[in-house]
């Protein structure tokens, strides 16, 4: 009688099939517990970090709707009523409206200039080879390590000699120069990840370098522009040292200077509720910008790794 070996499956031709590949159970048993422990640890650290960042922000927002008495008697409790007069007092009496508009004007102009100039320089450094290309690139990288404190006194005399001290346009130029090194460094790496075939197709169609950059390559670099724009917006919006030294007139003060003036101008009175309301006013534009563009920020940061 003919018997069939059940350990080796046969096909219709009568030839034995290949042996099935089996994984070692010992390796699976070793990897799974380690992966679970690492996953639990990483998620736990993220949750802890989220609480450390979120709770102070929520406490500041909650405190801005309290009275000064409630802030000291029950600092951790919810407000009994929403005192919007704190916001109105900080906006009008403390001149936060003027400081806010000054900051929007300065940061808007400086951020636009930084992105336009930085993207043009980064595109040339990333796409064209010429003598001194690497030297110029490393010069911008070296600017990132230069402490701004060392340039305060020279900047003061330079702006004073040019007649731009205590002016908005002088502060805008300083902000642009301060933000260009990081912008060029970030966008140069991003432009290198973009496909060259699109630019070559534009050149074949008769587009000039300027038209190719502004109409083809710059729209493709939108995630990178948004990412570096968010970082520059944070640094310029919260800048305090540069305007304190270069912009001392009361009519031209920015929001960071206004918050300090609100904190120290009360003397022994201390308008704590108005101070927290002004603090939340300065914080809301930054949070709104990140919430609106958080996907573009993540995609811009990971674009180089996905190539």
Closest residue by Cα to residue 81 from 89, 91, 69, 93: 69
User: Per mean pLDDT, which range of 5-9, 82-86, 149-153, 298-302 is the poorest?
Assistant: 5-9
| Mean pLDDT (whole number) for 222-236 | 89
Do 56 and 106 fall into the same domain?
no
| Mean pLDDT (whole number) for 14-31 | 52
User: Could you give the percent of the chain with pLDDT greater than 90?
Assistant: 25
| pLDDT at residue 118 is higher than 60 | yes
Domain that holds residue 201: 85-306
- DSSP string spanning 258-305? HHHHHHHTTTTS--HHHHHHHHHHHHHHHHHHHHHTHHHHHHHHHTGG
* Residue 294 within a domain: yes
Which CATH number is 248's domain given?
1.10.3720.10
Report the alpha-carbon distance of residue 174 to residue 171 in Å, rounded.
Answer: 5
pLDDT band at 86 (very low <50, low <70, confident <90, very high): confident
Do 44 and 116 fall into the same domain?
no
pLDDT at site 185: 93
| Mean pLDDT (whole number) for 225-240 | 89
Do 50 and 197 fall into the same domain?
no
Where residue 17 falls (left for φ over 0; alpha for ψ -120 to 50; beta otherwise) is beta
Report for 12-21, 82-91, 110-119, 201-210: range of highest mean pLDDT: 110-119
* Residue 153 within a domain: yes
Do 36 and 136 fall into the same domain?
no
Do 57 and 101 fall into the same domain?
no
Strand partners, 10: 16
| pLDDT at residue 14 is higher than 50 | yes
Q: What is the mean pLDDT of the chain?
A: 82
| pLDDT at residue 257 is higher than 50 | yes
The more confidently predicted of residues 82 and 28 is 82
Closest residue by Cα to residue 174 from 195, 198, 158: 158
pLDDT band at 288 (very low <50, low <70, confident <90, very high): confident
Residue 190 — φ and ψ, nearest 5°?
-75, -40
Q: Using the 8-state DSSP alphabet, how is residue 18 labeled?
A: P
Q: Which residues of 112-140 are buried (b: 16+ CB within 10 A; e: fewer)?
A: ebbbebbbbbbbbbbbeeeeeeeeebeeb
* Residue 292 within a domain: yes
Do 118 and 264 fall into the same domain?
yes
Contact 182, 231 (CB under 8 A): yes
How many C-beta neighbours within 10 Å does residue 180 have? 20
* Residue 20 within a domain: no
pTM of the entire structure? Answer: 0.77
| pLDDT at residue 270 is higher than 90 | no
Read off the pLDDT of residues 49-62 as tens digits, 9 standing for 90 and up. 888 988 988 998 99
* Residue 80 within a domain: no
- Per DSSP, helices labelled H in the chain are 25-63, 68-73, 85-92, 96-127, 133-144, 152-161, 168-193, 196-204, 209-212, 218-220, 222-237, 241-246, 255-264, 272-292, 294-302
* Residue 302 within a domain: yes
Do 258 and 143 fall into the same domain?
yes
pLDDT band at 82 (very low <50, low <70, confident <90, very high): confident
| pLDDT at residue 6 is higher than 50 | no
Contact 281, 91 (CB under 8 A): yes
Read off the pLDDT of residues 141-176 as tens digits, 9 standing for 90 and up. 888 888 888 888 999 999 999 989 989 999 999 999
Do 235 and 176 fall into the same domain?
yes
| pLDDT at residue 300 is higher than 90 | no
pLDDT at site 307: 47
pLDDT at site 187: 93
| pLDDT at residue 4 is higher than 50 | no
Do 170 and 273 fall into the same domain?
yes
pLDDT at site 126: 92
* Residue 100 within a domain: yes
User: Per mean pLDDT, which range of 18-32, 203-217, 227-241, 275-289 is the poorest?
Assistant: 18-32
Q: How many domains are there within the chain?
A: 2
Tell me, rounded to whole angstroms, the distance of Cα 14 from its chain centroid. 66
Do 216 and 186 fall into the same domain?
yes
pLDDT band at 33 (very low <50, low <70, confident <90, very high): low
| pLDDT at residue 271 is higher than 70 | yes
* Residue 211 within a domain: yes
Do 37 and 133 fall into the same domain?
no
Do 265 and 149 fall into the same domain?
yes
| pLDDT at residue 234 is higher than 90 | no
Strand partners, 108: none
């Amino acid at each position: 009688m003919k018997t069939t070996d059940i350990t080796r499956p046969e096909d219709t031709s009568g030839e034995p099939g290949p042996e099935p590949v089996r994984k070692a159970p010992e390796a699976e048993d070793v990897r799974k517990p380690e992966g679970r422990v690492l996953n639990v640890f990483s998620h736990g650290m993220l949750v802890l970090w989220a609480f450390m960042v979120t709770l102070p922000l929520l406490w500041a927002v909650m405190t801005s709707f309290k009275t000064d008495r409630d802030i000291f008697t029950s600092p951790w409790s919810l407000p009994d009523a929403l005192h919007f007069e704190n916001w109105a007092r900080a906006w009008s009496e403390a001149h936060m409206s003027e400081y806010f508009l000054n900051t929007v004007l300065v940061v808007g102009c400086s951020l636009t200039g930084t992105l336009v100039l930085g993207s043009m320089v980064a595109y040339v450094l990333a796409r064209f080879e010429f003598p001194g290309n690497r030297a110029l690139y490393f010069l911008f990288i070296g600017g990132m390590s230069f402490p701004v404190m060392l340039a305060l006194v020279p900047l003061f005399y330079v702006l004073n000699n040019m007649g731009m001290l205590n002016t908005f346009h002088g502060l805008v130029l300083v902000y642009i120069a301060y933000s260009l090194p990081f912008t060029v460094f970030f966008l140069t790496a991003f432009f290198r990840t973009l496909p060259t075939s699109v630019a070559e197709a534009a050149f074949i169609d008769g587009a000039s370098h300027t038209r190719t950059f502004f109409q083809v390559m710059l729209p493709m670099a939108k995630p990178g522009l948004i990412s570096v724009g968010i970082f520059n917006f944070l640094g310029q919006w919260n800048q305090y040292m540069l305007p304190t030294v270069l912009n001392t007139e009361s009519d031209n003060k920015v929001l960071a200077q206004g918050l300090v003036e609100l904190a120290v101008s009360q003397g022994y009175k201390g308008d704590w509720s108005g101070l927290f309301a002004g603090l939340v006013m300065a914080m809301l534009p930054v949070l709104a910008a990140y919430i609106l563009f958080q996907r573009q920020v993540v995609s811009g940061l990971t674009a180089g790794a996905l190539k």
